[in-house]
Structure 1
Amino acid sequence: MTVEKPVLICLYGPESVGKTTLARQLAEHYQTVFVPEVARDLITSNDLTPADYIRIGKAQTDAVKNAIALANKLVICDTDLITTELYAQIYLNEVPPVLYELEQEIGYDRHFLLDIDVPWIADGLRDLGHRREEIYAMFQEALIRRGLDYVHVAGSWEARWQIVTTEIDRLLKRDR
């Protein structure tokens, strides 16, 4: 018996755009697993070393691989390795090369680029609200540079839900 690979989606974008909340809601709606941003469990500040980013990248990759084995046709990821690379560039001004290698280990069926048109909410780790437009542009450019297909997600929370679930439903039907 062959096990079908689940559809992998990535909720993608800068801090404070609703990725985690949406990931949890989608996982419940589709009765599947979601992969949280593991960095939240590994760090207490943004004062990180290259080794910290490598540890985060490896843990995120392992978390996605583990979720694939548990998924019900769909895996919802709260982030990806491109995000880890971008934050390494922002905070360290360098990207440990192993992160690019780890990025190649997971292929997403769709990235959803969440727009910054929602209120920014500070917390202990979110500290880049003043650079939101610049960082959003970096996230978008990273997808374009890699030639990755993505869906732009903007508007009210209800509009965002409709955009994302419509595309996920389409992807699930395609993979039947």
Structure 2
Amino acid sequence: MLRIALTGPESTGKTTLSRLLAEHYATTWAPEYARAYLEPRSGHYTLADLEVIARGQLAAEEAAAARAHRVVFFDTDFLVLKIWSEHAFGHCPEWILRQIEQQQYDLVLLLDVDLAWEPDPLREHPNLRQHFYSLYHSELSSHVSNFAEISGPPARRFEQACYLIDELLAAADRPTLVGARPNPAPDSPQP
């Protein structure tokens, strides 16, 4: 099962792309739990709420993975919670930091801020998107080797993501022979 996370600043198309990819690959995706949690609270939250949101996100990921076929998509990751927490409260709960270390994704798609900002009552920082993008890029560059930047208009983002996912699926489908040695070239001496 391939696990693909989408991350990045607000209003970069994570939800739309997650849903489209899940439909395209006939599988499941985990929506961002924070949205469902914060909507009835009119967007107000405390540091304690972030840990509740993190646990809800983890449960949503596990539920989506249990129903998935070959690949599952996550409309956010714990890096979002870390950056959000550090910006809003100056630090991140230790449990969330430990979860970041434990979670493993086959690919993380970092969505660029080159889409127009779409106002939303839960979105907070329209003028800080480039700043946040730089934070995401720095964190991923330091800790994750399997991430790709996705940019451009929505159709191009979808094409970029599909290309990367198709490559991963093709690699996963290739048979691996344990202990097999490559065949020598026809003119090379035999051992």
User: If the TM-score is normalised by the length of the shorter chain, which range does it land in?
Assistant: over 0.9
Q: Name the SS for the 1:25 alignment partner.
A: helix
Q: Aligned to 1:131, which of 112, 128, 133?
A: 128
- Corresponding residue for residue 19 of structure 1: 14
Aligned: 1:59 with 2:56? yes
- Corresponding residue for residue 143 of structure 1: 140
Gaps of at least 5 residues in structure 1 are: 1-5
Which moved further from structure 2: 8-17 or 60-69? 60-69
Matches of 1:58 and 1:83 in 2, distance apart? 14
* Amino acid of the structure 2 residue aligned with 1:36: P
Superposed CA RMSD in Å reads: 1.2
* Amino acid of the structure 1 residue aligned with 2:10: E
Q: Aligned to 1:37, which of 27, 32, 43?
A: 32
- Corresponding residue for residue 158 of structure 2: 161
Q: How does 1:99-138 map to 2 (within 5 A)?
A: 99-138=96-135
Matches of 1:108 and 1:168 in 2, distance apart? 12
How far off is 1:116 after superposition?
0.5
How far off is 1:169 after superposition?
0.6
Q: Name the SS for the 1:66 alignment partner.
A: helix
Structure of larger gyration radius: 2
Paired residues in the alignment total 171
* Amino acid of the structure 2 residue aligned with 1:9: I
Q: How high is the TM-score relative to the length of structure 2? A: 0.85
Aligned: 1:94 with 2:80? no
Q: Name the SS for the 1:75 alignment partner.
A: strand
- Corresponding residue for residue 67 of structure 2: 70
1:26-72 alpha-carbon deviations (Å, 9 max, x no partner): 11111100000000011134542221111111111121122211100
Paired residues of 2:15 and 2:75 also in contact (CA < 8 A): yes
Paired residues of 1:7 and 1:74 also in contact (CA < 8 A): yes
Aligned: 1:8 with 2:3? yes
Query: What fraction of aligned residue pairs are identical, expressed as a percent?
Result: 33
Matches of 2:121 and 2:154 in 1, distance apart? 24
Aligned: 1:83 with 2:88? no
* Amino acid of the structure 2 residue aligned with 1:73: R
1:95-117 alpha-carbon deviations (Å, 9 max, x no partner): 01110122234210001111001
How far off is 1:147 after superposition?
3.3
Paired residues of 2:78 and 2:96 also in contact (CA < 8 A): yes
Paired residues of 2:32 and 2:75 also in contact (CA < 8 A): yes
* Amino acid of the structure 1 residue aligned with 2:154: W
Q: Name the SS for the 1:104 alignment partner.
A: helix
Paired residues of 1:46 and 1:91 also in contact (CA < 8 A): no
